[in-house]
Amino acid sequence: MSEQPDADATIEARLHEQDYFRPPAKFVGQANASDPDIYDEVGEFPDGFEQYAELLDWDERWDEVFDGSNPPFFEWFVGGKLNASYNCVDRHLDERKNQTALLWEGSDGEQENITYQDLHRRVNEMAAALRSQGVEEDDVVTVHLPMVPALPITMLACARIGAPHSVVFAGFSASALAERVDSADSDYVVTIDGYYRRGEFLDHIEKTDEALEEMDRDPQVLAWSRHEEPSDEVSDDYTDVESLLDEHERERVEPVSRDAEDPLFLMYTSGTTGKPKGCQHRTGGYLAYVAATSKNVLDIKPGDTYWCAADIGWITGHSYIVYGPLALGTTSVMYEDTPDHPHKGRIWEIAERYDVDIFHTSPTAVRMFMKWGPEYPEEYDFDFRHMTTVGEPIQPEAWLWYYKHIGDEDAVIVDTWWQTETGGHLITNLPALEDMKPGSAGKACPGIEPALVDDGGEKLEPASGKAGNLIIERPWPSMLQTVYGNDERFISTYWEDFSDTDSDDWTDWNYKAGDGAVQAQDGYWRILGRLDDVMNVAGHRLGTMELESAVAEVEKVAEAAVAAREDAEKGEVPDVYVVVREGVEETDAVKEEIVAAVEDEIGKFARPANVIFVDDLPKTRSGKIMRRLLENISNEQELGDTTTLRDPSVPEQIRDQMHGD
């Protein structure tokens, strides 16, 4: 069993209860989920989840809803067959071929309005193009694309031919890309020459060029072009996607009928070790669950214009820009570049232009909008019916600002808690059925059974108001299948701490979320944040160990530890504590080298906020670094118990050095 942090000592539930806000009557009257019986119906385990699967078109209906005979390798909709691309594209053609599926806005105001008919043509051509390059069913295709239509088109093309995609966020560095290609045994990389960031054309292909030098595999590279012609930077060794598409113009590719349990995609995410893990998601259970939550939680209807302003390179974009919304046949907006380019009103300008009904963003973005001030949204005429936050806890203050200045006190807000691993929302209100409570994610989704346990695995009383480790007691259809290629890691990371791993009865198995939480008397859940060495930087999940291994690449560094510092805007930022090697001078140049190493190994978005030189790191007698003490120092909190340290004076020295006496 891995070491468990002490929940009581590490999480402080210094929270006061907030008022409730009722959903507006006009919302309730039109909501998709307006009958409270949904909780009981879906909660009938496991058959209740059949109504989720029934939202999809199946080639063959399942024989069994759930097979729990080999825990924790659960199976869903066993024997069923379907294709995700068919469900997101083809099946909408009869009713709404001329409706917009994807509305894309580029950096300079360039627009693309892709109807379901267009999407069908483009996905088919790309599927044919991939096949022509040898991509076969079950080959993992690594997709390193930014927020351009090529990204969802490539994903859906992969799904069409049964090739699981592994999308690597465009902001990841060459090294991070190389690691993920190797880890996924991927023989294909799909990328693009460049894209726009703050109005500048960014060379993106260079990351693939460099990654190829670093990786063990030798994948074939397919390169899209951001403009009609590929930029001069693109190597002749790569296959030009645009010409390939010309060769396959108007070709049709029959969607491959996939077993419900066949993988749809991998999504790498940070954990507690230096190596990111490939969360493997199944086709049937995943698509059913994200379609159902898009319908019930996000209240998406085909006639809506829905905008999740996240990046498709993370799980939020997979589930709630691409798969969920398109499975429901709605219009999903996507945009390139940043919310402040070319001006700080960009988001609201887009919302007004397309008359967006449902808006989805992160608390980090809300805090940023709040800092910029209400005058930007006030300038535009938009009217959201529904708003979502995801990815981090939202402070009641930020929630209230969002409610007032963006929602005009007239929109519902859902605060959705979930993870890359969970595939879709697990804790959040069904907006017509529960009142909103700022700072609280709300109730468990239908059919989901969260609970809290102490560090010894003893269950806390429900709704006790005490903090504990969040677990999910019952399986659900969109849970990860495994960690790609590493079933042991799957078990050790998510199951072994709070399950009876000798049991073959699935009810003895509990999924460990890695988050701390409290459940208030009203049954609402408040998520307190990670209890393991994972931090959340502006909604991006980063592993402490990944950051530390990046820092360790710098030769001048003898030892380093990373701590999460609370940040008013980004939620958390990494502070790096460094002991330099004998004879190395502690200079700004060394600091810069360390920052550059993190940018090279992971990506610019992971850039440390501070690099702090210290003489020693706080360690236990057995030599384990006590990161939690460093976190207390970074956050100017009490040090707490230091008696188990080899040298209890170390943290105090560091604190004095940082904050003075």
Rounded Cα–Cα distance for residues 394 and 377 (Å): 20
Binding mask 451-490 for ligand WTA (x = CB under 6 A): ----------------------------------------
Q: Is 497 in the site for ligand WTA (CB under 6 A)?
A: no
Binding mask 187-216 for ligand WTA (x = CB under 6 A): ------------------------------
Q: The tokens 């976190």 sit on which residue? A: 631
Q: Which helix (H) or strand (E) segment is 281 a member of?
A: strand 277-282
Binding mask 530-559 for ligand WTA (x = CB under 6 A): x-----x----x------------------
CB of 543 to ligand WTA, least distance (A): 11
Residues 256-315 that bind ligand WTA (CB under 6 A): 269, 314-315
Catalogue the E-assigned strands of 89-161: 100-105, 111-115, 141-143
Window of 104-112, 472-480, 527-535, 615-623 that interacts with ligand WTA by CB under 6 A: 527-535
Binding mask 438-457 for ligand WTA (x = CB under 6 A): ---x----------------
Q: Is 390 in the site for ligand WTA (CB under 6 A)?
A: yes
192 vs 527, which CB is nearer to ligand WTA?
Answer: 527
Buried b (16+ CB within 10 A) or exposed e, 145-180: bbbbbbbbbbbbbbbbbbbbbbbbbbbbbbbbbbbb
Cα-based angle 132, 135, 137 (whole degrees, multiple of 5): 125
115 vs 364, which CB is nearer to ligand WTA?
Answer: 364
Window of 81-89, 377-385, 513-521, 630-638 that interacts with ligand WTA by CB under 6 A: 513-521
Q: Is 160 in the site for ligand WTA (CB under 6 A)?
A: no
CB of 541 to ligand WTA, least distance (A): 4
Binding mask 399-428 for ligand WTA (x = CB under 6 A): ----------------xxxxxx--------
Roughly how many angstroms between the first and final C-alpha of the chain, as a whole number? 39
Q: Which of 105, 118, 349, 392 binds ligand WTA (CB under 6 A)?
A: 392
Q: Which of 316, 493, 510, 632 binds ligand WTA (CB under 6 A)?
A: 316
Q: Are 363 and 571 in contact (CB under 8 A)?
A: yes
Alpha helices in 274-314 (DSSP H): 284-296
Helices (H) and strands (E) in the chain, counts: 23, 30
92 vs 437, which CB is nearer to ligand WTA?
Answer: 437
Closest CA to 346 of 325, 320, 369: 369
Rounded Cα–Cα distance for residues 198 and 206 (Å): 19
Rounded Cα–Cα distance for residues 399 and 440 (Å): 10
CB of 371 to ligand WTA, least distance (A): 20
Window of 19-27, 209-217, 322-330, 511-519 that interacts with ligand WTA by CB under 6 A: 511-519
157 vs 266, which CB is nearer to ligand WTA?
Answer: 266
65 vs 358, which CB is nearer to ligand WTA?
Answer: 358
CB of 281 to ligand WTA, least distance (A): 12
CB of 542 to ligand WTA, least distance (A): 10
Q: Is the dihedral of CA 425, 426, 432, 435 positive or negative?
A: negative
Q: Which of 515, 532, 546, 548 binds ligand WTA (CB under 6 A)?
A: 515
Q: Are 412 and 457 in contact (CB under 8 A)?
A: no
114 vs 290, which CB is nearer to ligand WTA?
Answer: 290
Window of 1-9, 206-214, 242-250, 390-398 that interacts with ligand WTA by CB under 6 A: 390-398
Q: Is the dihedral of CA 284, 286, 291, 293 positive or negative?
A: positive
Question: Which structure tokens are listed for 231?
Answer: 């930029």
181 vs 390, which CB is nearer to ligand WTA?
Answer: 390
49 vs 511, which CB is nearer to ligand WTA?
Answer: 511
Long-range contacts of 532-535 (CB under 8 A, 24+ apart): 532/5, 532/271, 532/272, 533/272, 533/627, 534/270, 534/271, 534/272, 535/564, 535/572, 535/574
Cβ neighbors of 643 (< 8 A, separation 6 or more) are none
CB of 528 to ligand WTA, least distance (A): 8
Rounded Cα–Cα distance for residues 336 and 199 (Å): 10
Query: Side chain identity at 571, as an amino acid letter?
Result: G
CB of 201 to ligand WTA, least distance (A): 28
User: How many of the other CB atoms lie within 10 Å of CB of 318?
Assistant: 25
Rounded Cα–Cα distance for residues 169 and 176 (Å): 10
Torsion of CA 444, 445, 449, 451, to 10 degrees: -20
Q: Are 436 and 412 in contact (CB under 8 A)?
A: yes
Q: How many residues sit close enough to ligand WTA to count as binding (CB under 6 A)?
A: 23
CB of 184 to ligand WTA, least distance (A): 18
Rounded Cα–Cα distance for residues 276 and 200 (Å): 30
Binding residues vs ligand WTA (CB under 6 A): 269, 314-316, 390-393, 415-420, 441, 513-515, 527, 529-530, 536, 541
